A and B are shown apart, each in its own frame.
Chain A
Amino acid sequence: SQELEQSPQSLIVQEGKNLTINCTSSKTLYGLYWYKQKYGEGLIFLMMLQKGGEEKSHEKITAKLDEKKQQSSLHITASQPSHAGIYLCGADRGGSNYKLTFGKGTLLTVNP
């Protein structure tokens, strides 16, 4: 079973609209990473959340981690075509090897 569920799997929005992507873990997380990717290219690190209730922002992207550290949301305000891509949440279960496992990803299309 998928330990990390991402929704929606794909999303098409009009430029300027806000959107939210969710990531839910079946187990408590040590940390939660958000990355952006163009398929077939490297990953762009967006942010990492580690504390329950934590919220971080980078430009027009805000990510939150719930108090139980099992759910995170990524919110984009006033989306732009440059925001298009695959958004991936990665689960850090703790431990010394820093292994990340990923959700299925959300493919975001922003229409001009």
Chain B
Amino acid sequence: GAVVSQHPSRVICKSGTSVKIECRSLDFQATTMFWYRQFPKQSLMLMATSNEGSKATYEQGVEKDKFLINHASLTLSTLTVTSAHPEDSSFYICSARDPQVEQRDTIYFGEGSWLTVV
């Protein structure tokens, strides 16, 4: 079963409103989670690194005031798209790794969330 869960899987919101997407680690505590965005037929673009108990680290070109990230607990990171516009419509996906596992090949991705702004 999934070890990283995202919610909602699909959301439609009106232009100008804000929408929150959750990313949860189900069986482990994740001090770090990552948020990606994917455009149609394109690859995943890393948006930011979500750090538990501290500010997120944003990639170049990503507006931190537009995409608010909160990592208030060891199992939950949230991405809030503020004042959403149609161009924010996209597929958003998060990932996390179990820090208790030594191997590096245990990065888990969520199922992704479709955001449509109308």
Contacts and interface: CB of A to CB of B under 8 A. Distances in A.
B112 A40 contact: yes
Contacts, number: 62
A101 B111 CA distance: 18
B104 A103 contact: no
A84 B40 CA distance: 16
Closest 6 CB pairs of A and B: A48-B105, A105-B43, A42-B111, A43-B109, A104-B43, A102-B44
Interface stretch (A12-20, A71-79, A91-99): A91-99
Chain A residues touching B, majority SS: strand
B49 A102 contact: no
Contacts of A40: 38, 91, 112, 114
9 contacts: A33-B107, A41-B111, A48-B105, A50-B104, A86-B43, A98-B32, A102-B45, A103-B43, A105-B43
Given A42-B110, A100-B95, A105 B42 contact: yes
Interface size class of A (residues with CB under 8 A): 20 to 34
A88 interface: yes
Interface of B: 32, 34, 36, 38, 40-46, 49, 91, 93, 95, 97, 104-105, 107, 109-112, 114
Contacts of A41: 111-112
Contact of B41 (A98, A101, A107): A107
Given A40-B114, A97-B32, A102 B104 contact: no
Contacts of B36: 102
Contacts of B42: 104-105
A35 B93 CA distance: 14
Contacts of B107: 33, 45, 98, 100
Contacts of B46: 99-102
Contacts of A39: 38, 40-41, 91
Contacts of B49: 97, 99
A48 B91 contact: no
A97 B52 CA distance: 12
Interface string A3-19: 00010000000000000
